[in-house]
Amino acid sequence: MTHPLDDILGPMAPFAIGLLDELAALDIPLARPEIDHLCYRAASQEEYLALRGILAEAGSLLVEGMIGGRPIATYRFAQPLCFAWRGEPLSVPCIELAAPKPGRSHKAGLEHIELVVADLAALVAAHPALPFKTGNMASLRNPDVALMLASGQVKFHLRPLSAVIEEELATDAVVPVPADYFSRQS
């Protein structure tokens, strides 16, 4: 249940398990949840750059690009995060590393997990009392809905992030990080 990066990023399996437990308490059906990645948000550019190097040694970079005005890098773990939840063995293949948005203060740490589901509209309709964020539900490339919980955020989307990344790379849709981005942010 422990992962070699737990000492650096924080205990990843307990973070994911806590969020799954919170979802289950809200009666969101999770027969065998497919967590395709979790996200760590860096508090500073320096932390982002240091973690980028550590994650490159612990896996392979799938993509780094500008999303929401800041760099985000996604890595496939060399050793997936593996744990059991309610007797089901689960494996998380990827981690996203988010740089802080310029001009904003962020707390460092594990921020969210993302689950693949079959139907976003059906999920939201089945739980009308829950405060889903649905602003990205109409996105053409990777629609999602999000739910803020006590221990973090859960995002739901229709296909694994690695498949979205493959499509973005194949169609030149990745917005590259400007060569001088990190020197400009200092």
Q: pLDDT tens-digit profile of 141-167?
A: 889 999 999 999 999 999 999 999 999
**Quick check: 91 and 73 in contact, CB under 8 A?**
no
The answer to whether residue 185 scores a pLDDT higher than 70 is no
Average pLDDT taken over every residue of the chain: 93
What's the CATH number of domain 6-185, 3.40.50.720, 3.65.10.10, 1.10.10.2120, 3.10.180.10? Answer: 3.10.180.10
Contact assessment for residue 113 and residue 90, using Cβ atoms and an 8 Å cutoff: no
- Listed in sequence order, the residues at least 6 apart from 62 whose beta carbon sits closer than 8 Å to its beta carbon are 74, 75, 76, 94, 162, 165
Contact by Cβ (8 Å): 112, 136: no
- Over residues 55-90, the pLDDT tens digits come to 999 999 999 999 989 999 999 999 999 999 999 999
Where along the chain do its domains lie?
6-185
